[in-house]
Every structure is written in C-alpha cells, then in structure tokens.
Structure 1
Amino acid sequence: GKSNRKITPKLAAIKDLTCVGIPTAEDPTESIYRFEETVLIPGGINLPKVISCVSQRGRVYKQLVKSQDDLRQDALVMQVFRLCSTLFQPKVNVRVYKVVCLTKTAGVLQWIDNTVPIGDFLTGASDEVFGAHYRYHPDDLLHGQARATMNEVAKADLRKKLSTYRSICRSFSPCFRHFFTENFSCPTEVYVKRIKYTESVAATSMMGYIIGLGDRHNSNILIDQRSAEVIQIDIGLAFDEGKLLPVPELVPFRLTRDMVDGMGCTGVEGLFRSTCELILERLRDSRKMVNTVVETLLHDPLAKWSVDYHRIFKKSRDEMQEKCTNGSRSLDAERASMKVNQKLQGNVANETLSCKAHANVLIREATSEINLCQMFSGWSAWV
C-alpha cells in the first residue's frame, strides 16, 4: 500500500540550482529550487518513490523515481507514442509523459496527477480495499476468487479453460460505466467524457498494437479522473515480447468486458470502431515517418529494447553473452522493424487488409473468449 517517508538529508540540502533543469518539466526553462520533505511510496516490487521538486518559479513537479528497473525501452516506446500523438491531432488526444533514464537500472518518470489505475477503481487497490465491482455487485464472485479459479485451470486443456472463464463471466458483472457517474455529475458531461474515454482507448489500443505493447493488465492502464482519458504506463514490454512469455499473450490489446462497458450502450460499435479505423488510416498514411523513427530508435546502441531472453526464459548469463556476441541484437532489430512495417501496411496472415477489415480483425481477436481464457490469471481477463 501507499506510505509516506522523509527525503534523505543529502536531497534536502539541495537548494537553488538555477543551472539544473527539471527533467520531467515540459518547460525547458524551469530549474530546481528545492525538494519537498515528504516522499510518497505508491507500492510496487521495487518500491518506487514519488518526490516533489519545487521550481524557481514556485511550481511543484512530482516525479516517480525508479531503481532496479530498466527504463530505456519505456523511453523508446514513449518517443514513438509522442510522434504518433501528433498524427492524430486535433481529432484524438493521446496522453504521453516524460521518461528520463539516469542509468541502466534507474530513471525518473513524470508523475501524472488526478489519475487512478483502472484496477484500483474496479477491484480495489488491495485485498482490504474493495472496488466498484463489490460496491455495485456485492453478491457477485469476488475478484480474488475469480483469479484463484482461473489459476486452478492454468494447465488444463482449452475446453476446460473456456468453460471456467465463461462461468466466471456469468458471476462477475461489468461495472466500469459507474466511473463516469461517480466522477461527473452532469449528464452532458458524462456523455462528453465517455466520448473522450472511447477515443483514447481506441487510439492507445491501435498504437499499442503497432508497437507490439504487452503486459496491459489493470494496473498498467490509468484513467484521468478529470478528462476520462486513459494513459498507458509501464510500457517496457514491447515489440511483441508478450508472445514469448511462459504464458503467451494472445490478444493485441486490452478490450475486456469492463473496458467495453465504459463505452456505453454501443460498446465496440460506432465511435470505438470508427476511431480505430481512423487511427489505422493515419498511421498507414504516415508509415514512412513512423518506420524511420522506429528503425532509428531500434538501432540506437544506447537503447535497451531487444528481446530480454534472460528475463523471459531465465537463461544463464553465459547463454545471454553468447547471443550478444552472435549479433542477435541486430537481428532482433531487423525482425522488430519488419513486424512494425507489416502491421502498418495491414498485412495479416499473408493478406493485405483495408483499414476497416484490419480494425475488425483486431477487435475480434481482442474480445475472443478463446484468447482471453488462455491469458495469465494475473492479467484478469474477466475484468
């Protein structure tokens, strides 16, 4: 859970650094004046810290400081996201944030205020704090029970997984629509925010598909409590690495029942589908620009993006070194670039699809019960 601590004396002693800019500030002229004493620990395996930096102009910039975590691939993917976001203006606004790598295992990220992970809203931040599912459907199956049930059939055959998944879905009702009624009181505002939400889910889903973004569980997608736009975080698993996990990810993006429930009565039809088609069309029209940026970043010797075989397969260090000496990193770059280019051209199963057909295939794959029932139980495909 979240807790508060005090900053170290060394950090507290830093004052009035007029020549040192604030790395996560959008304004490059902002410089550091001091750091606030309180440090927030939001939780997580490596215990990241949220520190507040006060600028010379009196503005407060919150920063998420991470250690024992390689953010180089996060920074790479965010650069691609930032480029793509300019292609969608003014129709769709894609939320991006700054990622600054300090070392191979440490970095600073821009903290996004007024946001909450969709998992915290839906199922609660912990076992002691219940979310909207329990508040609105107290007689339904609990989220922890559903996860335990799916975990029990993790090694079963497809038929057993599918029947178990369907049984859980019958006892676990979607309720993400209540996010809008809880945060916005005016019916007109609810309608406008739902449009913003639907467009942002469509845009980030298509961008995530193109870049091969994985690990889209409930805690890695934030929703802004003021604008209702979604923000993708923890974006280090990219270029289809998710397909190489011990439990392969079979869906192109997260489009579970609760994600669809927030879109209103039309669901994936109407605005969501048309926005997906629009995003694919704009990406396809600008594929030369996107490919150029992706290829440049993939071949950057300072970037860490290539498939992390040691993490995924738990290979030995000697095997990892052998792969590096054999030039596998360069080969991985070529393969990743080729996959991105194929997606931008609409090549699926050796066929070139129109934007409408391409969007239809992706939506069908993302909502397929057969795909969802085979996802890792921690991904919470029923939510």
Structure 2
Amino acid sequence: MYPLLVACKSISNLRKAAAQEVVDKVRQHSGVLVDQAQLVSKELIRVAILWHELWHEGLEEASRLYFGEHNIEGMLKVLEPLHEMLEEGAMRDNTTIKERAFIEAYHHDLSQAYECCMKYKRTGKDAELTQSVSPELVECRDLELAVPGTYRAESPVVTIASFAHQLDVITSKQRPRKLTIHGSDGEDYAFLLKGHEDLRQDERVMQLFGLVNTLLENSRKTAEKDLSIQRYEVIPLSPNSGLIGWVPNCDTLHQLIREYRDARRITLNQEHKFMLSFAPDYDHLPLISKVEVFEYALQNTEGNDLAKVLWLKSRTSEVWLERRTNYTRSLAVMSMVGYLLGLGDRHPSNLMLRRSSGKILHIDFGDCFEASMNREKFPEKVCPVPFRLTRMLVKAMEVGGIEGNFRLTCENVMQVLRSNKDSVMAMMEAFVHDPLINWRLFNFNEVPQMSIFASTHGTAVTNTEETAPSKELAQPQRGARERELLQVF
C-alpha cells in the first residue's frame, strides 16, 4: 500500500490519478486495510514534519528567494500554502496539541505578516510524547496492517498491535524520530522516522545491495567469506518523509572516535588544531602550502583511534581478529559497490560499525552518481577519488594494511560484478529511468554514470509529462569517467 499512497501524492496528475484508481479498486474488497494504511501514513507524515519545522523550512526558502535572488513572486508562492494551512488549522477542532500551541504562539504575528504580503501583492518545537503530536496514532490498536517492512510471501503476517507512546528525537541536522511499533507477534520493531528527505533513492539502493548479496553468495570465491552487505528496510511515506528500519548495536565512526578521544582528554579536532597552529591563515594559502600543512598535522598525530577502538571493544584476541577481518572485508565490498554507484558524502557520521561483528554499515545514499560533486555547498571536487580510504580506516586493518584482505576482497568482488555485468547494469539503469526518484541532479553531461545509460539507448529517457516539451535535452557526451566505468566492466 505504501508505494501506492506515495504515488497518490505525486506532482504528476496522470500518475496521481492512476494510483488513486488502483487504491479505489483495492478499497472495494479491502476497505479497512486501505483506510488503516492511509491513517498510519498520514499520521506518520504528520509526526515526521511538525508545523514548527514546516514554517522554519518555508521561511528559510522564502528568505533565500527574496534576499538571494530578489524573487518576490517565488517567495509568495512558498509562503501562501503555509498561511492557508495555518488559517484552516485555526478553524478546525481536530488539531493536535502541538498544532494548537503553534497557532496560539504565532498566529497573530504571522497573520499580520501575511496581510503585509497581500497589501504588497495588491499594490505591486519537537516533542517526545506521541499523543501531543498524533492522538489518532496512539489510539490505533490491533490493525490489519502489517508492520512496515515485515511482509513476506507465504509467511505469517505480523500486524501492528499498537504504537509506542513515546518518540525520541535524535539531535542531528534533520532531527529524525525513533519510533517503536508493537507487533502482533509480541516483538517490538524500531524505525527511524525521517522528514525533509526523499528516501525512494535509498530504497532502490537497498534493492541493488540485495542483488549484489545474491551474486556474492552464488560465487565460489566469495560464498564462504560472509561478504554480504548489511541491508535495512526503507519505506517511503511521501516524497519527503519515510521510515528506515533501525539497525541495533551500531555506532557511527564519528561517535566511536569522539568517545575514544573524550575518555583520553584528546580534542576531537586535534588534527585541525595542529594545522592552525602551523599556519593560522590556512584557508588563504595556495594549494601546495595546504598540502604541506596537512602533512605536518599527519606527522604529529597517530590516527589509530579506530584501530584502538576495535581492540578495546574485543573480549579476546580471537574476537578481535574476527572483527578486524570482518571490518576489512566489509569495507572492501562497500568500496567497490560505492564506486560503481558514484556514492559520495562518506563522512564518519555516514559510516557505522556493528558492535557484534565489526562489519562496516553505510547509511544515507542521497548522493549517488557523483551528485555530491555538483552540489551548491561543500562540493566534493576531487573526481579521481573512487571511495573513502583515509589513514584512520587503513590503520584499523593493522599490519597488512590494504595489501591483505582488503585488496583480495576488492579484486574478488569486482570480478564477480564483472562476471554479472548485465544484471548489475540492468539494475543501475532502473535508477536512471525510475520516474519516482526525485534526482538532486539530472544532468547527463555532468553525471557520468547517467550518461552511460543514456548513450546506451541513444537519447535520454525522462518523464514526458513533467518535462517541458519545448526544452530539448542535451545529448550525452562520453567523458573520461564514463570511459573508466566502461573499462571496469
């Protein structure tokens, strides 16, 4: 049901109407199921993005349009739906406690601001208790709806018994919520409820990982080495919110390094401090001087924090050896797969380490096909770097470094992918032509992997309804990166 409900919210009228027609057909024989799915989806979206956050995001965008681009018409288009939502909420009786609190706190000032906007046009907080943000969700009991991500054909359906009464807000940039659903089997299922982010691309990446796992399991060279990529459930609820299955017993590398350094009273940005002590005007230095300063910082720091963490968190040397091997192999597998995906934004907060096995787990797949190279803020400009393999990651491999399990695993994985290139390319082609994915960057000349697929079919394939008919798409050009990828396969 969830993909259908997402399609019902599409900006494409044709797709929206088609999805609604399918939902209406399903409602004829499973009305209760459809109503419950719509209720759960609507309320989770309501919880994922509160009015405070909607207004904060809207005001930021309106401010950017007005002060940055002097686009007054665009500013008003952003603000008008928010004001309409506020006025409708003020007249309704079924608003939540948080929505009512927002109306009482800001309605007067926002109404005055809106009046000023209209005159110009004429003349030229997060909560932890779920009942405070979604009373209907708390009252849900014994639904026919399956717990998201648990449905399997020919297996007993685990339905939603209830929702936990408390949501924990995680203090990260997007402030996601940790949601717990009580299943009919007596188990608790934890999810990360994320707003302000399109998870449909992450869902497709999980499908690719499933294919890679199958290929690795069926190869004699890799079958016995436990090289499977850790996957998790991704359930989009709307184009900008969704559920992610919670992977237990995992810590980000950033968190592990912070804890290690805090315990030893080492500053988290130790390397950066050495750089500034050597060159206070580092940001204004020429490139060759920056390299010299960077090398000075490396010479004066050890960079073995992750290696020490793996050792200290292992009960015995045998456990340590097993975890170190798992760490090295899993890092190698994701390095190869991430390279094919053009995966960027691999900072320490997007790399996780499983406490029990030592395997590396990647999260946040929003920057695929080297989209991070063309983003507005902090672009990753260095194209030849295929994956993250910094000093700290290498030192955690211990004595062999990259010339051991890492290199052997990389070669074996790449050989398996090459042997099954047709299957891999078919899956990656689906990324490009999937109309549901809202690409951050859809420029065939700038994203080499997309250019490969487009050139295979002669011209680019896009959603004709959402593309202006008068605008011709630029013909893809083969670049150095494209030729490199073709050589890989």
Q: TM-score, normalised by structure 1?
A: 0.75
1:200 aligned residue (327, 330, 337): 330
- Match for residue 43 of structure 1? 171
Counterpart-to-counterpart distance in 2, 1:96 and 1:6? 30
- 1:214–1:249 CA contact under 8 A, matched in 2: no
- Match for residue 260 of structure 2? 132
- 1:69–1:106 CA contact under 8 A, matched in 2: yes
| Alignment deviations for residues 233-273 of structure 1 (CA, whole Å, 9 cap, x no partner) | 01110001122245324222111111112111111111101
Counterpart mapping for 1:64-83 below 5 A: 64-83=192-211
Counterpart-to-counterpart distance in 2, 1:226 and 1:185? 11
1:7 aligned residue (130, 140, 151): 130
- 2:162–2:181 CA contact under 8 A, matched in 1: yes
- 1:21–1:30 CA contact under 8 A, matched in 2: yes
- Match for residue 266 of structure 1? 400
Unaligned stretches of 5+ in structure 2?
A: 1-125, 218-222, 447-465
Q: Match of 2:261, as an amino acid?
A: H
1:173 aligned residue (276, 279, 302): 302
- Match for residue 247 of structure 1? 379
Flag the 1:49–1:152 CA change in 2: closer, same or farther, 3 A: farther
Counterpart-to-counterpart distance in 2, 1:254 and 1:328? 38
Q: Match of 1:22, as an amino acid?
A: V
- 2:275–2:296 CA contact under 8 A, matched in 1: no
- Match for residue 356 of structure 1? none
- 1:77–1:238 CA contact under 8 A, matched in 2: no
Counterpart mapping for 1:289-368 below 5 A: 289-305=423-439, 307=441, 324-325=467-468, 343=485, 345-346=487-488
Counterpart-to-counterpart distance in 1, 2:422 and 2:282? 45
Q: Are 2:290 and 1:161 aligned?
A: yes
- Match for residue 92 of structure 2? none
Flag the 1:329–1:194 CA change in 2: closer, same or farther, 3 A: farther
1:84 aligned residue (198, 212, 220): 212
CA RMSD of aligned residues (A): 3.2
- 1:331, distance to aligned residue in structure 2 (A): 6.4
- 2:261–2:267 CA contact under 8 A, matched in 1: no
Flag the 1:331–1:118 CA change in 2: closer, same or farther, 3 A: farther
Q: Match of 2:196, as an amino acid?
A: Q
- 2:272–2:297 CA contact under 8 A, matched in 1: no
Aligned residue for 1:109, secondary structure, equals strand
- Match for residue 24 of structure 1? 149
Name the % identity: 26
Q: Match of 2:379, as an amino acid?
A: V
| Alignment deviations for residues 100-144 of structure 1 (CA, whole Å, 9 cap, x no partner) | 11111111111111000001111x2xxxxxx32354584996266
Flag the 1:24–1:190 CA change in 2: closer, same or farther, 3 A: same
Counterpart-to-counterpart distance in 2, 1:199 and 1:146? 32
1:184 aligned residue (294, 299, 314): 314
- 1:185, distance to aligned residue in structure 2 (A): 0.9
Counterpart-to-counterpart distance in 2, 1:57 and 1:68? 32
- Bigger helix fraction: 2
Counterpart mapping for 1:49-64 below 5 A: 49-64=177-192
Mean CA deviation greater in 253-262 or 19-28: 19-28
Q: Match of 1:287, as an amino acid?
A: K
Q: Match of 2:296, as an amino acid?
A: S
- 1:26, distance to aligned residue in structure 2 (A): 6.5
- 1:281, distance to aligned residue in structure 2 (A): 0.6
- Match for residue 365 of structure 1? none
Counterpart mapping for 1:139-150 below 5 A: 142=270, 145=273
2:241 aligned residue (97, 106, 123): 106
- Bigger strand fraction: 1
Unaligned stretches of 5+ in structure 1?
A: 125-130, 313-322, 348-383
Q: Are 2:253 and 1:118 aligned?
A: yes
Q: Match of 2:317, as an amino acid?
A: P
Aligned residue for 1:307, secondary structure, equals coil
- 1:301, distance to aligned residue in structure 2 (A): 1.1
- 1:98, distance to aligned residue in structure 2 (A): 1.5
Q: Match of 2:163, as an amino acid?
A: F
Q: Match of 1:271, as an amino acid?
A: N
